[in-house]
């Protein structure tokens, strides 16, 4: 259920929308954001534990509808051209955000990589069921550039396995 693979080869129907979306607490988001109920509980626990280390984690983007992703993708193409846009943004129907399982955390640029929050997430997110979805050095597998801010819920068991083996969701599901 939480190991669904959504990528350039595995698309969602344009009408797909989870029926258990709940609003992320304002304490842990920068704007109105929705996640699947179980994912939201795990994200809240993750954020509360990060606070114990004086780290402030906020969701900046969660669920996105097909239409929202379509408009976003079109804008990226206008900004940077088709090839570059396709390496850093998903086509509509190909975005994990449509599943309600993906979260962009704090800010969506590469400078997040050098923050204490990013380092903490890399070493702790799996304990809550999250994986760094687009890791550095695995672009040839995921099809997307390294995104240190993009985390995906897969459940604790799968996240622990992936963390220990340092593999992507594609590798875990043998879809390489």
| Listed residue (62, 15, 56, 57) closest to 37, CA to CA | 62
- Distance (Å, rounded) from C-alpha 141 to C-alpha 57? 28
DSSP 40-55: HHHHHHHHHHHHTTT-
- How remote is the C-alpha of 70 from its chain's centroid? 17
- Does residue 147 have an active-site annotation? yes
Task: Check 32, 79, 117, 147 and give the catalytic one.
Answer: 147
Q: Are the C-beta atoms of 133 and 150 separated by less than 8 Å?
A: yes
Report, as residue numbers or ranges, the catalytic residues.
147
């Amino acid at each position: 259920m939480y190991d669904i693979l959504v990528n350039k080869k595995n698309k969602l129907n344009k009408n797909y929308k989870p029926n258990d979306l709940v609003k992320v607490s304002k304490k842990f988001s920068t704007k109105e954001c929705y996640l699947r109920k179980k994912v939201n509980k795990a994200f809240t626990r993750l954020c509360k534990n990060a606070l114990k280390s004086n780290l402030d984690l906020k969701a900046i983007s969660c669920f996105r509808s097909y239409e929202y992703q379509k408009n976003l993708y079109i804008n990226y193409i206008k900004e940077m051209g088709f090839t570059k846009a396709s390496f850093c943004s998903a086509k509509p129907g190909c975005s994990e955000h449509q599943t309600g399982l993906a979260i962009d955390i704090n800010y969506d640029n590469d400078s997040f990589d050098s923050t204490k929050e990013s380092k903490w997430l890399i070493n702790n997110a799996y304990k809550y069921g999250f994986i760094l979805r687009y890791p550095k050095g695995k672009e040839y597998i995921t099809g997307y550039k390294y995104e240190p801010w993009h985390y995906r819920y897969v459940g604790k068991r799968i996240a622990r396995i992936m963390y220990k083996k340092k593999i992507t969701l594609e590798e875990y599901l043998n879809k390489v």
